[in-house]
Amino acid sequence: MSSSVDARPRAIPALFKAYDEVRVVSLPRRIDRRHALDRELARFNAYPVYYHAVECAGAGPFIKPGSHGAFLSHLALLRWAGRRKRSILILQDDCTFTPGATLQSKPAAYDIWYGGWESMDVGPVERARLIGAHCIGFSAKVASDAAAYLQERYDAWRPGDAPLPPIDGLLVEFRWSRADLRVGFDLISIQRSSRSDVSPGRFDRHLVASALIGPLRKAKTIIRRRKAGTAAPVSNPTFSEDQTIGNGTRVSAARPETASARPACFPSGPASG
């Protein structure tokens, strides 16, 4: 067994045990992503519960329909966890963990914990605009607060307004709106290179081209995982700044008063677990 496989169990089981709930946002048709994540986590006796993501017929307040569905999926999970006073780790199905991933912090000690990101800015990650919501954890209290913030932003949007940022951008804005939050950072994951559910490329629309590009994406993922795995640890100061969820539980999906101005959104199927 390789040293990288030996190293990763130090992070993955500890991470999953740090939260009351772990859910993976995933469209049922993305069997490729589910199989890849299942294979990776099975080595550590970690078996994810999939949340069947929301799909939207149109972009609504966002630039793309995929961003709309991703937003509603994360919102429903955060509200579900908050109402039950449960901490939650939310993964996306393209999440993959870096070789030798080890936790430099205790995720449960933070209101919000990032397990992967890309920074849009030069400087401390604590104050940067971050891209990525593929591995992020919330305390029970902050899950409820984040859900309320996201719902408020969603309800306030009107046709003609500027599009809302995607879910990762809105979560950054939420963090910046709260000076009391403790935010932790451990760069232990990246997003696996695969066909995007938010904005499929032109090659993905052609079966032959899509098959040929698959091995290239796999190679790209390996390189990015190795690169992320060698990054310096990030310090963790106090940072001043009806949907099926799983286990058969249903909560109401977001239904703003301005729903007539938005495209229809629907769950893509029941969640497992």
In a domain, 272, yes or no: no
pLDDT digits (tens, 9 = 90+) for 21-44: 999 999 999 999 999 999 999 988
User: Does residue 223 lie in a domain region?
Assistant: yes
pLDDT > 90? residue 264: no
- 58: which residues sit within 8 A by CB, 6+ positions away? 65, 68, 262, 263
243 pLDDT band, cuts 50/70/90, is: very low
Residue 112 domain-assigned (yes or no): yes
Domain housing 108 = 3-267
Task: Count the domains in the chain.
Answer: 1
Q: Per-residue pLDDT for 203 more than 50?
A: no
**44: domain CATH number?**
3.90.550
Is 273 a member of any domain? no
pTM, to two decimals: 0.74
Residue 213, in any domain of the structure: yes
* Residues 238-257, mean pLDDT to the nearest whole number: 33
166: amino acid identity, one letter: P
> Residue 146 in contact with residue 171, Cβ under 8 Å?
yes
The token duo for 251 is 């909560």
